[in-house]
Chains A and B, each alone.
Chain A
Amino acid sequence: MEKYRQEIQNQVRTGGIIIALTIALFSTLHVFLYPKITNPATTTLVGYVEGVIMGLVAVLIIQMFVRGKALKDETALRKLYNEEHDERAQLIRQKAGEPLMAITGAIITTAGAVCVYFNTTVSYTLMGAGLFVILVGILVKFWVSRKY
């Protein structure tokens, strides 16, 4: 458990640095770069990327809060360890094809974001398809978790 505690401490430290850097980067971009953007496609891409990254940062903040709290309480730390290493949860992830769904969804949405420079319709279709894949992944996981 001591090894896991150190692992969590490292994650909290790294997560904190990532959050701070992201906020600093976006603040700088908002002040110096964004006012100069005039191309509508670039504005759409920047808005999309910023939205996705901010969403990920929000998830990261929640995770850091949960992990930071677990570091102060031995029972909470053991619970977190059990949740992360639970064999049933691993089986559900495997059965639902979670890694594949997540990677496919991420690739399609990224392709959609890049495509905004060439064709807006194709771009929105790809983004929609990517989000649909992610949504289907979540629903399949939910369905599999009810089965086991």
Chain B
Amino acid sequence: MQSWLYIINKEVAIKTKIRELRKQHKLTQEELALEVGTTRQTITSIEVEKYTASLVLAYRIARYFGLSIEEVFDFSEVENE
């Protein structure tokens, strides 16, 4: 229960492949942010694991790259808790 509250409060750092995917697609943070409806600062925070994207934003990012959420975000730490 406590760990789920943690997730709701966005305190768990989730690893992502956004940086790699951006480089593959030759995208800047600014361009990706514009495409998925957020700001460059938010993309930076997600990439450096300071901030965990909401389900909606995670879905938008994954959809933009044509992948599933699990393929972009690494939930292994959540599963280990």
Binding site for B on A (CB under 8 A): 75, 78-79, 81-83, 85-89, 91, 147-148
Q: Contacts A87-B57, A91-B10, A147-B50: A82 and B45 contacting too (C-beta < 8 A)?
A: no
Chain A residues contacting B37 (CB-CB under 8 Å) are 81-82, 85
**16 A-B residue contacts at CB 8 Å?**
A75-B34, A81-B37, A82-B33, A82-B38, A86-B38, A86-B41, A86-B42, A87-B38, A87-B56, A88-B38, A88-B51, A89-B39, A148-B10, A148-B45, A148-B50, A148-B51
| Residues in chain B within 8 A of chain A (CB atoms) | 10, 33-34, 37-39, 41-42, 45, 50-51, 53-54, 56-57
Within 8 Å CB of A82, what residues of B? 33-34, 37-39
* A76: min CB distance to chain B, Å: 10
Give the distance in Å from the alpha carbon of A147 to the alpha carbon of B41 in the complex. 12
Interface centre among A82, A85, A147 (most CB of B within 10 A): A82
Task: Count A-B contacts at CB 8 Å.
Answer: 37
- Which A residues are CB-close (under 8 A) to B38? 82, 86-88
Residue in chain A with minimal CB distance to B53: A87
Closest chain A residue to B52 by CB distance?
A148
Q: Which residues of B contact A78 (CB under 8 A)?
A: 34
Q: Contacting A88 at CB < 8 Å: which of B34, B41, B56?
A: B41
**For the complex of A and B, 6 pairs with smallest distance between CB atoms:** A88-B42, A148-B51, A86-B39, A87-B54, A88-B51, A82-B37
A83, B54: Cα distance in complex, Å = 16
* Complex CA distance for A85 and B56, rounded to whole angstroms: 13
- Chain B residue nearest to A145 (CB atoms) is B41
A47 to B75, CA, bound (A): 58
